[in-house]
A and B are shown apart, each in its own frame.
Chain A
């Protein structure tokens, strides 16, 4: 019983990581239709931000908390810059965007290598987050890792914040308007180029926040982005492009599926089975879990 509960929690926590890395992408790729291959490097930028901050703020806990907003700004600024310099010239040319952003991702990786060195760097996690809490005690205890709980909380907070922004703020209304009908939005007096840049800023900033979270579970190095970008795109595509709801559900379903399969088989086999399941699902619903046809975006 504890095994089942433990694995379910593991699955949910894998889902939370997937959700965090895919959330920003659901805005830039899902809603704005920009295939940004450099999204993984924005995550990396967030992770390195944590590393740099920890050098000047000695308290591990405080530096982590400070890193969240700072990483959002750093990655967001990188994203806005990318949008302003390159992507805005390529809005109707998705394949070119793919190649250009892939090139940018390689440049960012090399930049990280030149600035921080090729080996991975390490951050200290606050003591509070390296432990775990015991949910069921006894001989076969069920424990939840604190770092995973933190990431889960962060993912939920990010989803709520993004969803509220899109639904309730004037900015959110403008973004949704531009996504639904760019021309109509423009003739209604909305500066679509400014909306694009802001949306890109938020999407990339969320990648930075994901980077901070990843320092708690994985390595921090120049190539960390390439390892996760594929998973992020999978979540978006299966969830249905332009659908926040789909992204959230699919991230958790894939996480639980992965953890259950990993437990009963091996990691490699589980990865294969998850991909097979995704391919089969997309055969059945090529448009993803939720379709773009709905009027509501949130």
Chain B
């Protein structure tokens, strides 16, 4: 999902890299965040239009909820937080442009948002050049660290690797890989293959479909003929609908050959239909059903504000958490200055809806508990396994011997 960027993004990226350089270079004396007065501004940078709007609007809503709550309880360092929302329009150069605007014109103290890896990579140089902070809330393919980005979604060792551990513990000895044809699934599958090799699992096949592809009968036939113990699914968007319809038509079930998906959260279950998904597995760090008082409160507040039929999902939770983490960092630093906030970040904890999370100052990722869930007939996801404790983020998979040949 992170990196739901399409091939075009790769092309666009090189172009916009040059663009942001030109824009950023002119005023390296970085417009300083404006923290005078009794309000402090933060930027919300999400796609409110275009193909990614479906997902990113929910993240924006969740960020606003957190800001409202913080303001209701007195703000940050005695100042009210004023969100400035900008539309990235599902277009990566636009993200860079709006990031520039938020930092230089609005003089925000921090920015929250981005979804696809392509948009994150597009704004990364802008935040680095202006020494301003970005909080990024979506699971992604890892292999990245930026001094000015805090990653509050999972990196690979907090989502994909635990999912494989789970399959192994269930006695699954062979898997089949199905993914969309772009950077995130291909990177993820490279990691999965390395893991499988080291753990005596067999990868029986690997198939990619172009983003947006909706013809899956052949892939379903291939998967069926391979007789794998399980399928690892990194498909994105619409393709999932067609894939699961075909999967069921081919007579494959969650019992005979379970599918583990990493891009299907509560919102996606709604659009695919639980008729096709019931019993299948997902890997995330948070579900709407996750136990705990913090989550009960979060779900209740979200539904009260945006509607009873609106589900909460992992990226929304990570976004909500990121605002509270920023608040805690600022309060510990007693300053809005990005350098001081960064210095104060290590060890910050927050009782998040997913459970307690801790910031790892070195990588600027957070410790997260991995969770495997089973999709129910009611469209909600019930947890069937968790990692027991929050896993230390390891974006470059340095702690795993089998991963030494990667990247």
Interface residues in chain A, defined as those with a beta carbon under 8 Å from any beta carbon in chain B: 3, 6-7, 10, 13-14, 17, 118-125, 130-132, 140, 143, 145-148, 216-219, 221, 223-224, 227, 258-259, 262-263, 266-268, 271
A146 to B221, CA, bound (A): 15
Question: What's the nearest-Cβ distance from chain A to residue B280, in Å?
Answer: 15
Residues of B within 8 A of A271 (CB): 210
Q: Which of B54, B207, B249, B267 contacts A146 (CB 8 A)?
A: B249
Contacts of A119 in B (CB 8 A): 54, 267, 270-271
Inter-chain contacts of A10 with B (CB < 8 A): 217-218, 221
| Interface secondary structure of B, over-half rule | helix
Q: State A147–B275 Cα separation when bound (angstroms).
A: 15
Q: How far is the CB of B385 from chain A (nearest CB, A)?
A: 27
Q: Are B207 and A259 in contact (CB under 8 A)?
A: no
B181 in the interface (beta carbon within 8 A)? yes
B104 at the interface (CB under 8 A from A): no
Q: What are the 6 tightest A-B residue pairs by CB atom distance, in nearest-first order?
A: A145-B249, A219-B241, A122-B273, A120-B271, A262-B218, A218-B214
Write out, one digit per residue, whether chain B residues 228-252 have a CB within 8 A of any chain A CB (1) or not (0): 0000000000100110011011110
* Given A10-B217, A119-B54, A122-B270, CB of A268 within 8 Å of CB of B209: yes
List residues of B (234-293) whose CB comes within 8 Å of A's CBs. 238, 241-242, 245-246, 248-251, 267, 270-273, 275-276
Complex contact A218–B217 (CB within 8 A):
no
B94 contacts the other chain (CB 8 A)? no
Contacts of B51 in A (CB 8 A): 223
What is the total number of residues of chain B having a CB less than 8 Å from a CB of chain A?
34
Does B79 belong to the interface (CB within 8 Å)? no
**A105-B225 Cα distance, complex, nearest whole Å:** 40
B219 within 8 A of A: yes
Chain A residues lying within 8 Å of B213, measured Cβ to Cβ, are 267
A131 to B251, CA, bound (A): 6
B165 within 8 A of A: no
A7 pairs with B218, CB closer than 8 A: yes
From B214, B221, B245, B248, give the contact of A227 (CB < 8 A): B214
A148 lies within 8 A of B214 (CB): no
Given the contacts A143-B250, A145-B250, A219-B238, A266 and B208 also touching, CB distance less than 8 Å:
yes
Contact of A218 among B181, B219, B245 (CB under 8 A): B245
What are 24 A-B pairs at a CB distance below 8 A? A3-B221, A3-B225, A6-B221, A119-B54, A119-B267, A119-B271, A120-B241, A121-B271, A122-B241, A130-B249, A143-B251, A145-B217, A145-B249, A217-B215, A218-B238, A218-B245, A219-B242, A221-B238, A223-B238, A227-B212, A227-B214, A262-B219, A267-B210, A267-B213
CB distance from A234 to the nearest CB of B (A): 14
Are B210 and A147 in contact (CB-based, < 8 A)?
no
Evaluate contact between B215 and A14: CB separation under 8 angstroms.
yes
